[in-house]
Chains A and B, each alone.
Chain A
Amino acid sequence: MAEFAGHCPGLARDEIGWRIVRHAAWGETVEVALPELSEAQAAALCGQIRERARTALRRMAVARIVEAIDGATARLLDRSHPVRRKAEALLPVVTGYDRETVRLGLTGFLKTFRRPQLLRFLAEDFSDPGLLDGFRPAPKGGLVRAQGPDLLLHVWAGNVPALSLWSLVCGLLVKAGTVGKLASAEPLTAGWFAGLIAEQDPELGECLAAVWWKGGEGASEKVFLREADTVLAYGDDATLAALREKLPIGTRFLSHGHRIGFGVIAREALDRRRAPALARLAAQDVARYEQQGCYSPQMLFVERGGLVAPAEFARYLAHDLAALAARHPRRPLSPGEAAGVAAWRQAQELRDTADLLGEPADPWGVVVLDGDDTLRPSGLNRTVAVVAVDDLDAVPARVAPHRAFLQTAGVAASPERLLRLADGLAAVGVSRITAIGAMTRPEAGWHHDGRFSLLDLVTLTEIEAGAEAAAEGFAPYAD
């Protein structure tokens, strides 16, 4: 019995063409039915969502939308709720991540979508979130309001379970009529969440849809790309470039491409007590989601001069990765991924200044580099390089060559040095500096790739002070 993915308001199940995809992992198989709409259905759906957004969604107070999202999140956080139980049962098989990683990841992630966190999202981007409900006084004079697009198309990636919820929630908060393209690698959570939203608030549920088509060839693709006012897409460079090429010139295109994360560990954090604890946290950052997230570390710069030398830190890290593999087994690798890991190992073995820890059969790999290495991608899937540096000040220059791909840096350093390093990292394009151990868990309201999650989606309509003043002249009470 297949699990039906997506959310298509107004369309009965037997009206839709379903594409059945089999997923297998951990000795189980799951069949997922993906909703593939015809051109006509796609056009009708876009029209309907756009119309509902204009009429119903725009009139809803943001507070009501927050309530609905909060309610849906509460259900997904409740481990006894049928949808949560389904998520815990199916996502490990569909994504390949182990059950514990999925369970802990879901809870950690969903916690950022409760009411207080949603209000924080709003407060991060809008000094007055009332702007989304109506015209509000502007500091410079006049009035201003913010509006999301009538039709916002999300193109989701499935590298991390439930990742789609970030952009889905952002779109709803700015009252955008929403159509999402499910990710083939994780096509389930977005549909479940949409269903729960519809259960909380049926009217809101009619303002969003989650569908699927085969990227680049699905019949409905050109309809969705033509109809969308704004496209928010996740994926690799090739996917994003292909997508952008197909969009009408007036469509706003927001993209989040591949990124490379790294960690920085200062000598003051490398004493006998702190170093092993930090290694453990770093190992968690490396192991979570097999470094598939944009925020995952692929290299750790470790400063010399602490009580624990970089090479010893690497040995702690190696043992922690080995220990973590017992609790969170590595996802079964595809042939391509296995080749990536093998190629990475081989490249390290060929270098004189490299010390490779772990055997080829181990589900992890750590290499200690003693040269003047710059940031480089690892083989992913729990492979990481520890680079010894004489001083933290050297790090910004070491990562600068990858400027276009920088995003998250995990840092362990004293406050003064953290700020000094942050200046250097900001200058070369790092947009998020976080603690070691929190790299894969961005906080509520973070600015993905350094951009405004909500503000980027809206357009402002201003009533200039002059217009307001002129209107006074036409008032029935005008003198």
Chain B
Amino acid sequence: MRFSDRVILVTGASRGIGAAIATAFAAEGGLVIVNFRENAAAAEAVVAACRARGGAALAIAADVTSPEAVAEMARRIGEEAGRLDAVVNNAFAPYRFDPDNRVRFAETPWSAYQTQFDGAVRAAYTVVQATLPLLRGGASIVNLASDLVSRPSIPYHDYTTAKAALVGFSRNLAAELGPLGVRVNCVAPGLVEGTQGSRFTGEAVRETLVAQTPLRRLATPEDVAGPVLFLAGDDSRFVTGQVLHVDGGLVMG
């Protein structure tokens, strides 16, 4: 059990990739903080799934862009667990991955960028600020980016630019926290099947992506969980500031 006696916060964990990550940590014996914003019932279902897998879990509601809500969440984690061994910044602003109806640059208002920056960088900023005192040497931060940063298969300007900023954010944090023994890395999935955001991506685009992907399929939430656990745990103890692409080889390097 790689995460026995470890405490892990997963933001946006009530569904999709976040839920898969949370249950994977639980299956390795971790105590998982299942953060969610609105859907308490879904979060409780994830908590139940975590317990069923043999781990411990606790659902805490908090909008990750609200410093007050996140501070309150950190306070509760401190009270319940006393520390954090890993933080997975998975939550992001709602986005519609719709290749056919995507907004072109000329029509994209700055506010759309701002919304995505808030959802990616500001959320990670707020969560790390609040949880830093709980992170000891050996702790790990994993931020969810996207393979679109390296290969904009579909130019989702606002979303991808914000994820690119998150990669820069992560590398700077890695440089500063390394001497304290805290690691920061990114996992960059490709298009993930079965999530809220990806349901507008039509078959034609899926087939095109699959055809260009060496492993010949799209990612599942479970595919993403493995690399997140790797970067959160001791197996990657000498890895920091990296972006690990999880897209079947669509992006290499």
A interface with B by C-beta (< 8 Å): 276, 279, 312, 315-316, 318-320, 322, 357-358
Contact = CB atoms under 8 A, between A and B. Distances in A.
Contacts of B136: 315, 357
Contacts of A322: 137-138, 181
Contacts, number: 22
Nearest to A366: B137
The 6 closest A-B CB pairs, nearest first, are: A319-B181, A276-B179, A315-B180, A319-B137, A318-B137, A316-B179
A339 to B, nearest CB: 25
Interface in B154-206: 179-181
Given A279-B179, A318-B181, A357-B137, 5 more contacts: A276-B179, A312-B180, A316-B180, A320-B179, A322-B137
11 contacts: A312-B180, A315-B136, A315-B137, A316-B179, A319-B179, A319-B181, A320-B179, A322-B137, A322-B181, A357-B136, A358-B137
Nearest to A312: B180
A448 B123 CA distance: 58
B234 to A, nearest CB: 12
Contacts of B138: 322
B49 to A, nearest CB: 30
Nearest to A316: B179
A358 B180 CA distance: 12
Contacts of B179: 276, 279, 316, 319-320
Which bracket fits the contact residues of B? under 10
Interface string B133-151: 0001110000000000000
Interface in B3-51: none
A319 B181 CA distance: 5
A315 B180 CA distance: 6
Contacts of A312: 180
A403 B51 CA distance: 58
Interface string B97-110: 00000000000000
Contacts of A319: 137, 179-181
Interface of B: 136-138, 179-181
Nearest to A318: B137
**Max count, chain B CB within 10 A of own CB: residue among A279, A315, A357, A358:** A315
Contacts of A276: 179
A357 B180 CA distance: 12
Nearest to A323: B181
B239 to A, nearest CB: 14
Nearest to B181: A319
A421 to B, nearest CB: 27
A315 B181 CA distance: 8
A12 to B, nearest CB: 55
B106 to A, nearest CB: 43
A322 B179 CA distance: 11
Nearest to B138: A322
Nearest to A358: B137
A53 to B, nearest CB: 55
Contacts of A279: 179
Nearest to B178: A319
A357 B179 CA distance: 15
B232 to A, nearest CB: 18
Nearest to A272: B176
A350 to B, nearest CB: 17
A322 B183 CA distance: 14
Nearest to A359: B138
The winner among A276, A319, A358 for most chain B CB atoms within 10 A is A319
B246 to A, nearest CB: 29
Contacts of A358: 137
A316 B179 CA distance: 6
Nearest to B180: A315
A360 to B, nearest CB: 13
Contacts of B137: 315, 318-319, 322, 357-358
Contacts of B180: 312, 315-316, 319
A462 B138 CA distance: 67
Nearest to A315: B180
B41 to A, nearest CB: 38
A298 B136 CA distance: 23
B71 to A, nearest CB: 20
Nearest to A320: B179
Nearest to A275: B179
Nearest to A280: B179
A359 B181 CA distance: 14
Contacts of B181: 315, 318-319, 322
Nearest to B238: A326
A19 to B, nearest CB: 45
A318 B137 CA distance: 8
A131 to B, nearest CB: 52
A113 to B, nearest CB: 36
A13 B10 CA distance: 72
A287 to B, nearest CB: 16
B52 to A, nearest CB: 30
Nearest to B176: A272
B5 to A, nearest CB: 10
A358 B137 CA distance: 8
Contacts of A320: 179
Nearest to B136: A357
A413 B179 CA distance: 22
A309 to B, nearest CB: 12
A276 B181 CA distance: 12
A191 B167 CA distance: 60
A358 B181 CA distance: 11
